Amino acid sequence: MAFREYRIGCMMFGLALSTSMFVTIFLPGLDISGMSSTKLALEKQLTYGWESGFNYYDPFLRGKDKPIKVTLTKDPKTGAPMDKTNAYVFPAGTHFPDGLTHDNILGDKVQKASDEIGKIGEANEAQGGVFLVQTTADDTPYIEFATATRGWTTDAVLKAADNKSLAGSGKTLFIREGCWWCHTLLPEETQDWQTFGRPPLVGDFNGESPTTFGSDRKAPDLLHVGSRNSSREWLTMHFFNPRLVQPHSIMPRYDYLWGDKDKSGNPIDLKAWDREFMAYAKGESIYPPEVPIPADDSEARMLIDFVLNLK
């Protein structure tokens, strides 16, 4: 550093860079972290669990370490009928989303209600448990730890459930399979209201990771796809081969997510299926081959659950 100017230059450089980082990281970070969770953010955290991208507990992104979302129409403890309720079951050992383990994620009011009314402080990961999303009289959403407040155990809830959704595991696959390179999860404020539905609000993301907004849209936005397209049959065919239901689609086939066996345990022969399909596509046969129904623990099932859950 032969010249004094270089020393001054280095200092100015450090100053400029740190000021820039102060303004573009620290200040926005403060502002964003001060946002209170909406009800949607609570539901999303409880559906998607701790982390959907690469993590220590699910390094190969197989959809492990995820809660199960269930619908109840009767009280799992007493068996008494009740209004349709969504419950989020964390089997023992499943990792909790940040909102349950860190005090600064939910926002002050939501955190207070969840602690005092919802008793989330009593939950721990090793034992797991069942959670609900509720709203107080003054419209503050909060998380209720139903295992403490109502004595609902994970086993009882899973047994009483009408419908089990693996949407949390599905989000992991959504990331692994790169759906977000074509689909966005972010209707734009300016013009997407009509076609793709309500754009998200600031508080809709607390505790979610990764958010996968997507930056290139080559396909419809999916944030509310479950509201406009809720047919499991259509989705099954569409994922197996989008050209079955939409001849002009450029979406890739996801038939390999079906695994080796279909729902009734019959082996799936993708090569044979492809041959028949190509014959159909060329007009040599009138009907396309039948699409197998995905097995209950197949990746296809998880992904379809995830899509249907995007209301």
- Contacts to other proteins from residues 178-197, by CB under 8 A: 178-182, 184, 186, 188-192, 194-195
Choose among ligand HEC, ligand HEM, other proteins, none what residue 303 binds, the Cβ cut-off being 5 to 8 Å by kind.
ligand HEC
Choose among ligand HEM, other proteins, ligand HEC, none what residue 69 binds, the Cβ cut-off being 5 to 8 Å by kind.
none
Among positions 181, 211, 276, 293, the unique one binding ligand HEM when judged by CB under 6 A? 181
**HEC assignment per residue over 133-156:** EEECCCCCEEEEEHHHHCCCCHHH
- Closer residue to ligand HEM in complex, CB, 14/178: 178
Choose among other proteins, ligand HEC, ligand HEM, none what residue 22 binds, the Cβ cut-off being 5 to 8 Å by kind.
none
- Closer residue to ligand HEM in complex, CB, 105/223: 223
Choose among other proteins, ligand HEM, ligand HEC, none what residue 307 binds, the Cβ cut-off being 5 to 8 Å by kind.
ligand HEC
Instruction: Measure the CA dihedral 16/17/22/28, to 10°.
Output: 120
Among positions 215, 247, 271, 283, the unique one binding ligand HEM when judged by CB under 6 A? 215
- Between the alpha carbon of residue 70 and those of residues 67, 85, 201, the distances in Å are 10, 8, 25
Choose among ligand HEM, ligand HEC, other proteins, none what residue 13 binds, the Cβ cut-off being 5 to 8 Å by kind.
other proteins
- Closer residue to ligand HEM in complex, CB, 6/213: 213
- Between the alpha carbon of residue 130 and those of residues 113, 189, 245, 264, 275, the distances in Å are 17, 35, 38, 30, 47
CA–CA gap between residue 121 and residue 100 (Å, rounded): 8
Helices (H), the chain: 4-21, 27-33, 39-48, 98-101, 108-116, 146-149, 154-160, 167-176, 193-196, 225-228, 232-240, 270-281, 299-309
- Closer residue to ligand HEM in complex, CB, 166/186: 186
CA–CA gap between residue 89 and residue 246 (Å, rounded): 36
Among positions 31, 108, 116, 216, the unique one binding ligand HEM when judged by CB under 6 A? 216
Residues that bind ligand HEM (CB under 6 A): 181, 215-216, 218
